[in-house]
Amino acid sequence: MSKKKQVVTSTGVVVREKPLKLRIWNNRGYYLMFLPVLVFLIIMHYWPMLGIKWSFYDYKPVGTPTFVGMKHFKNMFATAAFWTAFKNTLVLSIVKLIITNLSAVIVSIFLNEMGNLFAKKTLQTIIYLPHFMSWAVVASIFSLFLSPSSTGMVNGMLRDLGILGEADKNIYFLASTTWWRPIFYVINIWKETGWGTIIFLATLSGINPELYEAADIDGATRMQKIRFVTLPALGNTIITVLILNLAKVMNMFESVFVLYNSAVYDKADVISTYIYRQTFAIALPNYGYSTAVGLFKGLVGCFLVLVCNWASKKTRGRGIV
DSSP, res 57: E
Q: Are 104 and 193 in contact (CB under 8 A)?
A: yes
Q: At 90, which amino acid appears?
A: L
Side-chain-facing half-sphere of 33: CA atoms under 13 Å: 3
The pLDDT value recorded for residue 276 is: 93
Helix (H) or strand (E) holding 157: helix 153-160
- 56, 67 Cβ separation under 8 angstroms: yes
Collect all residues with Cβ–Cβ distance below 8 Å to 191 and sequence separation of at least 6.
130, 131, 133, 138
- Largest Cα–Cα distance of the chain, in whole Å? 95
Q: Are 59 and 288 in contact (CB under 8 A)?
A: yes
| Phi/psi at 200 (5° precision) | -70, -40
Q: In 209-286, which ranges are continuous DSSP H helix?
A: 209-217, 222-225, 231-246, 254-257, 265-268, 271-280
Gyration radius of the chain's alpha carbons:
26
Q: What is the mean pLDDT of each run of 10 residues along the chain (321 residues)?
A: 57 69 87 93 89 90 88 94 94 93 91 85 89 93 88 86 81 91 94 90 87 87 87 85 81 92 92 92 89 92 83 70 58
Could you tell me the sign of the dihedral formed by the alpha carbons of 219, 224, 226, 231, in that order?
negative
Taking residue 230's Cβ as centre, other Cβ atoms within 10 Å add up to: 22
Task: Identify the burial level of 97 via C-beta atoms within 10 angstroms of its C-beta, where 0-12 means exposed, 13-18 middle and 19 or more buried.
Answer: middle
The domain limits of the chain are 6-55, 66-316
Judged by DSSP in three states, 289 sits in: helix
The CATH architecture one would assign to domain 66-316 is: Orthogonal Bundle (1.10)
> What's the pTM value of the predicted model, to 2 decimals?
0.83
Q: How far is it, in rounded angstroms, from Cα 291 to Cα 28?
A: 39
pLDDT at 320: 61
Nearest-angstrom CA–CA distance, 150 and 90: 36
Nearest to 171, CA basis, from 190, 147, 191, 194:
147
Q: Report how far apart, in Å, the C-alpha atoms of 140 and of each of 110, 134, 135, 172, 229 are.
A: 30, 10, 8, 15, 42
From 246, 273, 97, select the one nearest 185 (Cα to Cα): 97
Phi and psi at 14, nearest 5°, equal -90, 125
- The answer to whether 205 and 235 have CB atoms below 8 angstroms apart is no
Q: What's the pLDDT score for residue 273? A: 94
What's the confidence (pLDDT) of residue 7? 60
> Strands (DSSP E) along 9-102, which ranges?
14-16, 57-58, 66-67
